[in-house]
Structure 1
Amino acid sequence: MISKATIDTVFEVTRVEEVIGDFVQLKRAGSNFKGLSPFTDERSPSFMVSPVKQIWKDFSSGKGGNAVAFLMEHEHFTYPEAIRYLAKKYNIEVEETEQTLEEKANTDLRESMYLVSEFAQKYFHDTLLHTEEGKAIGLSYFKERGFTAETIKKFGLGYSPETWDAFSKEALGKGYQLEFLESTGLTINKEERLIDRFRGRVMFPIQSMSGRVLGFGGRILTNDKKAAKYLNSPESDIYHKSKVLYGIFHAKQSIAKLNNCYLVEGYTDVIQFNQAGIENVVASSGTALTPDQIRLINRLTKNITVLFDGDAAGLRASVRGIDLILEEGMNVKVCTFPDGEDPDSFAKKSSYEDLLAYLEHNAKDFIQFKASLLMDEAKNDPVKKADLIRDMVVSISKIKDRIQREVYIQETSRIMDISEQVLLNTLAQMAQKDLKEANKNFREEQQKAFEVVKNDEPIAAEKIDVLYELERKIIEILLLYGHKSEDFEDVVLTTNDEGEVETKSQYKEYKVYQRIFLSLQEDEVELANPMFRGIYNHLIDYFHQHETFQIEQYLTQLPTEFSAEVTDILMLEEQQTLHNWEGQQIIVKRKDQSIAQYVSETILTLRWYLVDRIIETLKADISTEPDADNSEPLSMAMDYYKLINAFSKKLGRVMSRYS
């Protein structure tokens, strides 16, 4: 396992904004950064990163935490995986201590699949470079494609031997279980005979955004007509082809930096562009473009340039992806290559400067592209021309921004020589049709919902849970001010010269966490909410064991189950105030208010609330029978009312009720 010294070093040098910036396009927002949520499909940024606190919060999904928590949520890393990833990113040497049998046993199924996939990538790569068969067949092929040794290493290219079970035998011999060889699709177990899925193919590892091997693409080099030219790993728990883009690991930083992504079709297109010096390129790996793949790019940039070869039939088939991109609120350009050329071949023969110049000069707006693509066959046929115009308006209708829609209508009017009004009317008809369909679907859903709840009781209006908010406020105070020393007012009973008992105030210095702990102990109060109770106990233990408190260091030791809640509390100031807290008797710290005053008011308000609940219980015990003796509950209730009155005077506000 990883030593504590290594973990401490990783947390010390890690910058959360740098880590998340590799996966999400972040923009400065005051002292923080914001971006689109990588966990939900949204168009307005609700994802916040705080460099000061070294935490992030996704307000759309409720997730949050530090850099490690982000990697565990986004990349499904285990804690050690996240630490190793950060160590590699910041060039920190990982110091290992021996792993226990229990820790080994706890390695989950997904992690086992990752480990098998990573072993396979290394095996295929070593076979390519260090065996006679690999060099004669696989390496020769890659060299013919013009790939350098550096490029082959960068993309981890490999070769799977022609032998039926060469890889499977090697993996089993190294201790990898057949269960995971099968679940990743690397091995086919057919009638108790093991068969390597990719035997006799050159191998292209498919990586996640963080660089983990998810699956493989394999190209056959023989002329076997019965075998597929390209073969991909089957769907698995770690590989979903509709959610993966080939090359995204190598492209992510360049995409974010240049604010543009080139989208191609094949593995070799991506590799050849990288070798030419253009890294902001990804491929859909031979599958039709999907919304999930587009959203992956959308986290890094709003701009996509789709690159097509000169095959007209292929172009028309690929144009459908443009509307999907527009629906995600992104900007689309299209660049085609000369007849007989594709991105791979064109990049191979071009210098970096020439390739970049060609892309910049030939990238067309999607409207211009659609017009130029189909006008030749439509110009002498009014019906085909009308269909083309309608197709262009359909694409425009996918655009969410009204100004952009207006500009594209004007451009279409100019290119197709048709009035703007006709186009606007057509656009309005489409919108009306979509709205009608949406309303129909909504009514159907409403009817279904009504049928489910029509016999149920009416739903009461939502009411703020005051106890929840007060307990949450206590956690917030501990996180923000728990380590600070303040002078707190203590009320003591004294006897004056006449022998009368009177109260007297005196001030004593406490740590804030000590004051809260002693107050709750004195009242024998335990937080009711299980989550807050767990965080409270963890915080108090931490304060007792450490002389200093830094939120960044504390978060490194925070149990995972508390991470989202703690982050949510720490990022409260980034949210708009949604409730009238003062009206609900929930204290909110004012700028002119001391920490000691804030703490005292919060504790007093909690006491007030709890006493009020006791009064309600006593009232429920009062009998309405004529001969009933209610003296005891009435007396106790009156005593508690006096206590509430004392709280009210202490708080300096008019007595209010929670009921």
Structure 2
Amino acid sequence: MIAQNTIETVFETARVEEVIGDFVQLKRAGSNLKGLSPFVDEKSPSFMVSPVKQIWKDFSSGKGGNVVTFLMEHEHFSYPEAIRYLAKKYNIEIEETEQSNEEREEANEKESMYLVSEFAQKYFHNTLINSDEGKAIGYSYFKERGFTGETIRKFGLGYSPESWDAFTKEALGKGYRLEYLDKTGLTIVKEDKQFDRFKGRVMFPIHSMSGRVLGFGGRILTNDKKAAKYLNSPESDIYHKSKVLYGIYQAKQAIAKLDNCYLVEGYTDVIQFNQAGIENVVASSGTALTPDQIRLVNRLTKNITVLFDGDAAGLRASVRGVDLILEAGMNVKVCSFPDGEDPDSFAKKTPYEELIQYLDANAKDFIQFKASLLMREANNDPIKKAELIRDMVTSISKIPDRIKREIYIQECSRIMDISEQVLVDTLAQLVQKDVTDAGKKLKQEQKEKVFEVVKNQGETASKIDVLYELERKLIEILLLYGNEVEEFEDVLLKANEEGEMVEVSEMNNYKVYHRIYLSLQEDEVELANDSFRAIYNNLIGYYHQNEKFEIEQYLMRLEPELAREVTNILMEEEREALHNWEVQQIIVKQKNQTISQYVSETILTLRWFLVDRIINDLKNSLSAEPTADNSEILMMAVDYQKLINTFSKKLGRVMSRYS
């Protein structure tokens, strides 16, 4: 178990903008930073990071929190795993306390699979470096590929022994459960036996963007024609090959810094480029490029340069991925190598400066590349040339930005020597077809959900949960202004010269949190929402005990769920002003309002709402029986209505006093 002083050091040291910057490309937006949501597919940034408050908010998915909750949401870390990750990033020594058996058993299934995968990576790497078999076979192979010892360590390369169950025996002997060896695919379990999936292969661990081991790729070194040359971990709860890019962990900082990502096909392409000094390179690991993989890169940069092997068949097959990149709104260039060369072989024999020069000189815009590639196939055949032009316009139609589309149409017209108007008309047809197809798909989806929509229509149309919003607004006020000293109006009963008790107004100074606390105590109001009630009690206690309110220190003491709710509230002010809140009786602080006016309005509105709800309950309790006596209920309703009239007058006075 991680000691509390270690956790505090981690929170004091870690910077939310630095940690999130490893996963998301952030750009300055006033005092904040913004980027594309890492949780949903979007074209316009809705992800905000506040370096001042050390929190973040994703307005698309509704997620938010501090540096730890980001790692828990994005990387599916447990709380301790997030702390360990940050401690490693900032070179903080972790102090441990003894962990109980119950706490050890709390590790969930995914965490157990991660632990097994991490053990496997260390085992394979240690076998490669230290065993006679590993050095003679695996290490020799990597050396022949030109990889240095430093590169082998950087990518955690390894070797799985030729024995049928060497790894499985070792893992079971260390206490790892066969269930998780099976679920990660490291061990193949049969009824009467179990054996290693990757026996006799050199191992390439596949990491997540945060560095967690998700799975493995293993290359066989013998000439066994019955065995696959490369074997990957099967799909599991932690490994989805369509959502992973090999090398993203090692490349992410270079990609964000250089604002460009080189995309290759294989493991060794990535490693050789990295060793040559070009670190912003990832691989699709032999699978066809997927939208999820493109989104991974899109979080770090808008620019992709696709590197193709020199053979024509590989080029033609890989071009299909270009349309997916364009569809994601990214800028794509294409670079091919000479015949017989691939990124691995070319980088191995080319010095860094020459390699950079080659890439710069030969990286073509996708439209130029596609034209030169397909023109060779057309071979002056007018029919094939027409198909080629339609192919190019189809690619252009995938681009969401209209200005870019028009520029590419002009470029295509120039290169292919064809009327720009013809291309524009063809493009319009294709775009219209995409729109029509999308409309049909949407219509079908709506048709399938029609009964569900009708069922939920009443709920959707119902007015906003006013009590929820008012309670949320009170928490927001406490977080933003709780320690501020403001002047508030107190209405007291005092005897006048005739001895009559009359209301007298006095202005007194209060801390905002104290004023809210006293008001709710006076009315014996307890917040209805469980989370808000817990945060409210925690906040009041914090203000009573501390002179200063520091959001980072405060968030440390909250459970992750409550911390997430707090950051959601704090980041709400970064969103554009909400519309029609006044109609829903929700007070929104305007720039010309004072804090005391804002507080008073919110409290009075909450009182108004609660009393109004009591009146409605009284009305519903009236008996329809002719002989029933409803007089007492009616009198109570009248008294409560007078109270509402008082609130109305007070609200008018509060607003006019500051107008």
Instruction: Summarize deviations over 1:440-496 as a string: whole Å, max 9, x none.
Output: 333333433446667998777442332222111111111112233445443333334
Aligned to 2:42: 42
C-alpha contact (below 8 Å) 2:66/2:564 kept by paired residues: no
Please list the CA deviations of residues 533-569 of structure 1 after superposition, one character each: whole Å capped at 9, or x if unmatched: 2322332343344443211211122222223332221
Following TM superposition, by how much is the alpha carbon of 1:578 offset from its aligned partner in structure 2, in angstroms?
A: 2.3
Q: Distance in 2 between matches of 1:519 and 1:269?
A: 67
Q: Deviation at 1:290? A: 0.6
Per the TM alignment, residue 622 of structure 1 is displaced from its structure 2 partner at its CA by: 4.4
1:399-438 map, 5 Å = 399-438=399-438
Paired residue secondary structure (2:218)? strand
Q: Specify the alignment match of 2:443 in structure 1.
A: 443
Partner of 2:275: 275
Match of 1:588 in 2: 588
2:108 paired with 1:114: no
Residues 314-365 of structure 1, C-alpha deviations (whole Å, 9 max, x = no match): 1111111111111111111110101111101110111110000000000011
After the TM superposition, which of the residue ranges 576-585 and 475-484 deviates more from structure 2?
576-585
Q: Is the 8 A contact 1:215 1:233 kept in 2?
A: yes
Task: Map 1:477-516 to 2 at 5 A.
Answer: 477-516=477-516
Q: Following TM superposition, by how much is the alpha carbon of 1:309 offset from its aligned partner in structure 2, in angstroms?
A: 1.2
Q: Which residue number in structure 2 is paired with residue 232 of structure 1?
A: 232
- In the TM superposition, residue 99 of structure 1 has moved relative to its aligned partner by 1.2
SS in 1 for 2:648: helix
Aligned to 1:617: 617
Residue 205 (str. 1) matches residue 205 (str. 2): yes
- Aligned CA distance change for structure 1 residues 472 and 499 (closer, same or farther; 3 Å): same
Range that drifts further, 564-573 or 206-215: 564-573
Report the AA paired with residue 426 of structure 1. T
State how far apart, in whole Å, the 1-side matches of 2:147 and 2:406 are.
46
**Other-structure match for 1:574:** 574
Deviation at 1:642, TM superposition (A): 2.4
Change over 3 Å in CA distance of 1:162–1:495 after alignment to 2 = same
User: Which residue is 2:522 aligned to?
Assistant: 522
Q: Distance in 2 between matches of 1:460 and 1:561?
A: 26
Please name the residue that 1:67 is paired with.
67
Partner of 2:175: 175
Counterpart residue type for residue 38 of structure 1 = P
- Residue in structure 1 matched with residue 248 of structure 2 by the alignment: 248
The residue number in structure 1 matching 2:133 is: 133
TM-aligned CA distance change 1:102 to 1:200, over 3 Å: same
Deviation per residue, 1:76-118 (Å, 9 max, x gap): 0111111111111111111111112221111111111111111
For 2:628 and 2:370, how far apart are their aligned partners in 1? 88
Determine the structure 2 residue equivalent to 1:466.
466
Q: Deviations over 1:567-596 (max 9, x none)?
A: 221112211122233344332334444433
Distance verdict in 2 for CA 1:627–1:33, change over 3 Å: same
SS for the counterpart of 2:478 is: helix
Q: CA deviation at 1:220?
A: 0.7
| Farther off after superposition, 217-226 or 185-194 | 185-194
- Whole-angstrom CA distance in 2 between matches of 1:272 and 1:44: 35
State the shift of 1:254 in Å. 0.5
How far does residue 627 in structure 1 lie from its aligned partner after superposition? 6.0
Deviates more, 1:22-31 or 1:474-483: 474-483
Change (3 A) 1:60 1:581: same
CA contact (8 A) 1:151 1:275 kept: yes
Shift of 1:128: 0.7
What secondary structure does 1:73 align onto? helix
Structure 1 position 244, deviation (Å): 0.3
Q: 2:33 is paired with a residue of what secondary structure?
A: strand
Q: Is the 8 A contact 1:263 1:304 kept in 2?
A: yes
Q: Which amino acid counterpart does residue 193 of structure 2 have in structure 1?
A: R
Moved more, 194-203 or 477-486: 477-486
Give the RMSD, CA atoms, in angstroms. 2.1
One-letter amino acid of the counterpart of residue 16, structure 1: V
**Aligned mates of 2:92, 2:280 — CA distance in 1:** 27
Amino acid in structure 2 at the alignment position of 1:499? G
1:605, CA displacement in angstroms? Answer: 1.8
Q: Residues 539 and 166 (structure 1 numbering): CA distance in 2 closer, same or farther, change over 3 Å?
A: same
> Is the Cα–Cα contact under 8 Å of residues 308 and 315 in structure 2 kept in the other structure?
yes
Cα 1:116/1:624, change in 2 over 3 Å: closer
Instruction: Point out the more displaced range, 584-593 or 146-155.
Output: 584-593
- Output the CA distance in 2 between the equivalents of 1:472 and 1:365: 51
Q: Deviations over 1:24-83 (max 9, x none)?
A: 000101111110000001001100011111110000000000010000000001111111
| 8 Å Cα contact 2:482-2:511 kept in structure 1 | yes
Q: TM-score, normalised by structure 2?
A: 0.95
Q: For 1:503, what is the secondary structure of its paired residue?
A: strand
CA 1:508–1:253: 2 relative to 1, 3 Å: same
Equivalent-residue separation in structure 2 for 1:128 and 1:456 (angstroms): 59
Counterpart amino acid of residue 152 in structure 1: I
Q: Which residue of 1 aligns with 2:607?
A: 607
Residue aligned with 2:474, SS:
helix
Secondary structure of the corresponding residue to residue 652 of structure 1: helix
For residue 524 of structure 2, give the secondary structure of its aligned residue in structure 1. Answer: coil
Aligned-pair CA distance for 1:193: 1.8
**Could you say which structure has the greater relative contact order, defined with CA pairs below 8 angstroms and 6 or more residues apart?**
2
DSSP-derived class of the 1:333 partner = strand
- Whether 1:537 aligns to 2:541 is no
**CA offset at residue 192 of structure 1?**
2.4
User: Kindly tell me: are residues 635 and 309 of structure 1, through their superposed partners in 2, closer, same or farther at Cα, counting changes over 3 Å?
Assistant: same
- The aligned counterpart of 1:91 is 91
Structure 1 pair 130–59 and aligned structure 2 pair: CA distance change class (3 A) = same
Cα deviations by residue, 1:287-326 (Å, 9 ceiling, x for unpaired): 1111100010000111110001111111111111111111
Normalising by structure 1, report the TM-score: 0.95
1:625-650 C-alpha deviation (Å, 9 max, x unpaired): 66654432332233223222222222
Are 2:350 and 1:350 aligned? yes
In structure 1, C-alpha distance between the alignment counterparts of 2:191 and 2:623, rounded to whole Å = 79
Amino acid paired to 1:536: Y
Alignment-derived partner of residue 296 in structure 1: 296
Match of 1:636 in 2: 636
Is the contact between residue 648 and residue 654 of structure 1 (CA under 8 Å) also seen in structure 2? no
